[in-house]
C-alpha cells in the first residue's frame, strides 16, 4: 500500500481542523475583481516560496501575439554546456483556470528547465471567470504556434518542441496537441503532463478516496468547472477532453506523472492506458506518497523534489532521443 508523506499528512490534519470548502463560499471568493486579485496575489506568493531553488539562468519576459490579444510569456534558457539549439518546452501552469501565473510557477519552471536542459516558454494565459473557455485554450495553442515559428530565434530547435503543464495546464497541453492533430498541422514532439485534468467525469475511485482534505477538493473542482466552462455545451466541445476522443492515435509521445493521494490520479492513469492502447509511446509515473500539485512543494518535500527532477530529466532525455528516432525515420523514408 501507499503512505502519505509525513509533512503532507501534517498539512492534511491542519486543513481538516478548518471549515470544509463550500461551493457557495468559493464562488463568492471570485465574484469581484478585488477578491480575484487578492486570491491570485496570495497564490503567486505561496506557490513561489514552496518550490525548490535551482541554478540561475537567463530569463526574459516577452509579450507575443494571440487571437484574443497579447499573451505574456516568460522564457528560460538554462546553461547546458551543449553546442547548437536546445529542445523547447511550452509550459502551461496549473491553478484551475482561475488563478496562478508565470510568477507563481517561476521556481518550478526553472527546475524543469535545468533538469531537462531545455528552453522553456512559460505561458501567462487568460484566466476565468473573466475569460472562460475557449480563451485559455486559444492562448495555449497560440503560444505553441508562436514557439514553433520562432524557436530558432530563441536558440531552440523547431524539430524538438514539446508541450507540458500541471493540472489545468496539463489539460491545455493536451488541447494544444489535440487541436494540431485535428487540423493536420505539425504538433508537439512530446508531452510532459503532471497530474493532468483530462476529463470532467468524477466516477474514478480516486475521487471518492481523495476528494476532500488532500489539497484538491471536489468543491473546488466543481466551482472552477462552473467558472471556466460556464456553458455546459463547452464541456463537450471536440478536441477538448482527451478521454472523450474516440481515438488518441497520432498524439505525441507522452510522460504522465500522477500523485498517489490525488483525485485526478486515476484519470491520469486512464489517459496513459488509452495512449498505450492507441499505439502512442507513453511513460506513466505515479508517486504514491504525494498529493496533487507536488511540483509546488519541491522545496519542502524531498519526495516532491525527487519526482520533479526525475520527470524533468526523463523529458529532456526523451525529447532528444525522440527527435533522433524521427530524423532516422525521415532519412530511411528518403532512401
Per-residue pLDDT tens over the stretch 248-292? 999 999 999 999 999 999 999 999 999 999 999 999 999 999 999
In the structure, what pLDDT confidence band is assigned to residue 327 with cuts at 50, 70 and 90? low
Percent of the residues in the chain that have a pLDDT greater than 90, as a whole number: 86
What 3-state DSSP class applies to 331?
Answer: helix
Does the annotation count 167 as an active-site position? Answer: yes
Give the pLDDT band of residue 11 (cuts 50, 70, 90).
Answer: confident
Question: All domains of the chain, ordered by start, with CATH?
Answer: 6-333 (3.40.50.1820)
From the candidates 262, 266, 289, 298, give the one annotated as an active-site residue: 262
- CA distances (Å), 164 to each of 88, 91, 168, 318, in order? 10, 5, 11, 13
**49 vs 144 pLDDT, higher one:** 144
Cα separation of 90 and 175, whole Å?
13
Per DSSP, the three-state class of 84 is: coil
CA 235 to chain centre: 19
What confidence score (pLDDT) does residue 42 get? Answer: 94
Q: Give the least confident one: 118-132, 230-244, 313-327.
A: 313-327
The cell 493536451 sits on which residue? 174
Q: Cα separations (Å) of 213 from 10, 15, 30, 38? A: 11, 7, 21, 23
**Cell 484538491 belongs to residue:** 216
Three-state DSSP at 165 gives: strand
pLDDT band of 8, cuts 50, 70, 90: confident
Q: Which one of the listed residues 93, 148, 171, 292 is annotated catalytic?
A: 292
Say which of 101, 122, 167, 177 is annotated catalytic: 167
Q: What is the pLDDT of residues 181-202, one digit of tens each?
A: 999 999 999 999 999 999 999 9
**In the structure, what pLDDT confidence band is assigned to residue 15 with cuts at 50, 70 and 90?**
low
Q: What's the pLDDT score for residue 162?
A: 99
Using pLDDT thresholds of 50, 70 and 90, give the confidence band for residue 13: confident
pLDDT tens digits for range 81-131: 999 999 999 999 999 999 999 999 999 999 999 999 999 999 999 999 999
pLDDT digits (tens, 9 = 90+) for 30-84: 999 999 999 999 999 999 999 999 999 999 999 999 999 999 999 999 999 999 9
For residues 243 and 273, the answer to whether their CB atoms sit within 8 Å is no
Average pLDDT over residues 149-169: 98
What band does 331 get if pLDDT is binned at 50, 70 and 90?
Answer: very low
How many Å is the maximal CA-CA distance in the chain? 68
Any catalytic annotation for residue 206?
no
pLDDT at 307: 98
Contact present, 97 and 165 (Cβ < 8 Å): no
Look up residue 42 and give its three cell numbers: 496570495
Answer yes or no: 122 catalytic: no
Average pLDDT, the chain: 94
Q: Is the pLDDT of residue 334 over 50?
A: no
Higher-confidence residue: 237 or 326?
237
Q: Find the DSSP H helices in 1-153.
A: 6-16, 23-28, 33-50, 106-116, 135-150
Amino acid at each position: 500500500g501507499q503512505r502519505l508523506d509525513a509533512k503532507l499528512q501534517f498539512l492534511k490534519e491542519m486543513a481538516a481542523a478548518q471549515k470544509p470548502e463550500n461551493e457557495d463560499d468559493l464562488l463568492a471568493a471570485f465574484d469581484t475583481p478585488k477578491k480575484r486579485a487578492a486570491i491570485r496575489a496570495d497564490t503567486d506568493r505561496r506557490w513561489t516560496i514552496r518550490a525548490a531553488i535551482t541554478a540561475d539562468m537567463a530569463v526574459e519576459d516577452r509579450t507575443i501575439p494571440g487571437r484574443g490579444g497579447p499573451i505574456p510569456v516568460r522564457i528560460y534558457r538554462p546553461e547546458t554546456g551543449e553546442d547548437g539549439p536546445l529542445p523547447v518546452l511550452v509550459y502551461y501552469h496549473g491553478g484551475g483556470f482561475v488563478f496562478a501565473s508565470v510568477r507563481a510557477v517561476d521556481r518550478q519552471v526553472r527546475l524543469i528547465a535545468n533538469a531537462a536542459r531545455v528552453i522553456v516558454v512559460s505561458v501567462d494565459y487568460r484566466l476565468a471567470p473573466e475569460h472562460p473557455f475557449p480563451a485559455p485554450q486559444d492562448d495555449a495553442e497560440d503560444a505553441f504556434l508562436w514557439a514553433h515559428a520562432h524557436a530558432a530565434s530563441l536558440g531552440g530547435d523547431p524539430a524538438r518542441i514539446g508541450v507540458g503543464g500541471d493540472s489545468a495546464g496539463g489539460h491545455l497541453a493536451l488541447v494544444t496537441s489535440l487541436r494540431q492533430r485535428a487540423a493536420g498541422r505539425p504538433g508537439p514532439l512530446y508531452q510532459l503532463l503532471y497530474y493532468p485534468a483530462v476529463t470532467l467525469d468524477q466516477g474514478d475511485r480516486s475521487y471518492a478516496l481523495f476528494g476532500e482534505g488532500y489539497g484538491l477538493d471536489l468543491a473546488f473542482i466543481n466551482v472552477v468547472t462552473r467558472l471556466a466552462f460556464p456553458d455546459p455545451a463547452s464541456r463537450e466541445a471536440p478536441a477538448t477532453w482527451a478521454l472523450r476522443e474516440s481515438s488518441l492515435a497520432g498524439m505525441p509521445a507522452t510522460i504522465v506523472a500522477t500523485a498517489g493521494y490525488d483525485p485526478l490520479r486515476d484519470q491520469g492513469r486512464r489517459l496513459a492506458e488509452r495512449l498505450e492502447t492507441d499505439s502512442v509511446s507513453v511513460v506513466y509515473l505515479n508517486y504514491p506518497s504525494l498529493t496533487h500539485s507536488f511540483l509546488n512543494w519541491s522545496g519542502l518535500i524531498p519526495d516532491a523534489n525527487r519526482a520533479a527532477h526525475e520527470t524533468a530529466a526523463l523529458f529532456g532525455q526523451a525529447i532528444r532521443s525522440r527527435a533522433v528516432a524521427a530524423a532516422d525515420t525521415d532519412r530511411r523514408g528518403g532512401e
